[in-house]
């Protein structure tokens, strides 16, 4: 279901290059108290049943109280699971919400700068904040505690560079590379036939390779 929703947001020839989420530390910090409450309620209910009368009443009350942290924990897990950061060959997207979806995207063309902040623990456990500065009205978009922030940043930089160079997709880049290789092969054939000199061949080859 989530995959079909994401695919419905993509434009023609738009491809997802990377899907990222917040680090599992974010989820753990949200549900750790709920886990503790669940353990306390389970132990407390078991002790109450063992030492008190009215077993069924105590059990029912314990189960009803247990539903509260379980429901909130499931909600936190679903919110973490459905919060995604996507890089496509045209934009960077932030999607959140389980039922009601909230989508924020920034065109790669409007991305002016990318900043990454990592604490000591962030470097140890591979998470950090990535701030994207854009020329849009939003100005800046911060992705907090994102997993593998260096990989996210480099993928975003590479996608922007390809878009700036006129590559709308990976297939475009592949086609361009194939054309350059074909031109070099033709130049090599002309050199073998004596149409161009070795110096001319090397010069043209260097110019073509610089475009790759």
Residue 86 lies in a domain: no
Residue 5 lies in a domain: no
- Could you give the C-alpha distances from 61 to 25, 28, 104, in angstroms and in order? 32, 27, 43
Q: Which domain holds residue 178?
A: 170-210
Residue 177 lies in a domain: yes
- Confidence tier at 37 by pLDDT (50, 70, 90): very high
The mean pLDDT value for 87-98 works out to 89
The mean pLDDT value for 1-6 works out to 71
Residue 175 lies in a domain: yes
Residue 193 lies in a domain: yes
pLDDT in tens, 143-162: 899 999 999 999 998 888 88
What is the separation, in whole angstroms, between the first and last Cα of the chain?
38
Write out the two tokens for 157. 């930089």
- Confidence tier at 202 by pLDDT (50, 70, 90): confident
Question: Percent of the chain, pLDDT > 90?
Answer: 31
Contact 142, 130 (CB under 8 A): yes
Residue 6 lies in a domain: no
Question: Percent of the chain, pLDDT > 70?
Answer: 89
Counting the structural domains of the chain, the total is 1
- Could you give the C-alpha distances from 85 to 27, 142, 148, in angstroms and in order? 16, 11, 12
Q: What is the pLDDT of residue 193?
A: 74
Percent helix, strand and coil across the chain, each to the nearest 5: 60, 20, 20
Residue 198 lies in a domain: yes
Q: What is the pLDDT of residue 168?
A: 53
Residue 185 lies in a domain: yes
Contact 145, 127 (CB under 8 A): yes
The maximal CA–CA distance of the chain, rounded, in angstroms, is 104
Q: Are strands 84-88 and 16-20 parallel, antiparallel or unpaired?
A: antiparallel
């Amino acid at each position: 279901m989530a995959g079909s929703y994401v695919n419905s947001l993509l434009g023609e020839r738009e491809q997802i290059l990377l899907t990222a989420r917040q680090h599992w530390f974010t989820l753990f910090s949200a549900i750790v108290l709920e886990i503790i409450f669940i353990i306390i309620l389970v132990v407390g209910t078991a002790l109450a049943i063992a030492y008190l009368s009215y077993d069924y009443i105590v059990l029912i009350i314990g189960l009803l109280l247990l539903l509260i942290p379980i429901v909130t924990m499931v909600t936190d897990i679903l919110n973490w699971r459905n919060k995604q950061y996507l890089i496509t060959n045209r934009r960077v997207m932030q999607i959140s919400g389980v039922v009601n979806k909230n989508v924020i995207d920034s065109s790669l063309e409007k991305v002016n700068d990318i900043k990454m902040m990592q604490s000591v623990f962030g470097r140890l456990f591979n998470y950090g904040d990535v701030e994207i500065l854009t020329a849009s009205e939003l100005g800046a978009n911060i992705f907090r505690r994102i997993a593998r922030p260096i990989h996210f940043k480099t993928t975003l930089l590479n996608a922007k560079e390809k878009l700036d160079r006129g590559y709308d997709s990976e297939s475009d880049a592949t086609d361009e590379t194939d054309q350059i290789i074909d031109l070099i092969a033709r130049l090599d054939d002309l050199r073998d036939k004596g149409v161009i000199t070795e110096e001319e061949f090397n010069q043209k080859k260097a110019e073509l390779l610089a475009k790759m």
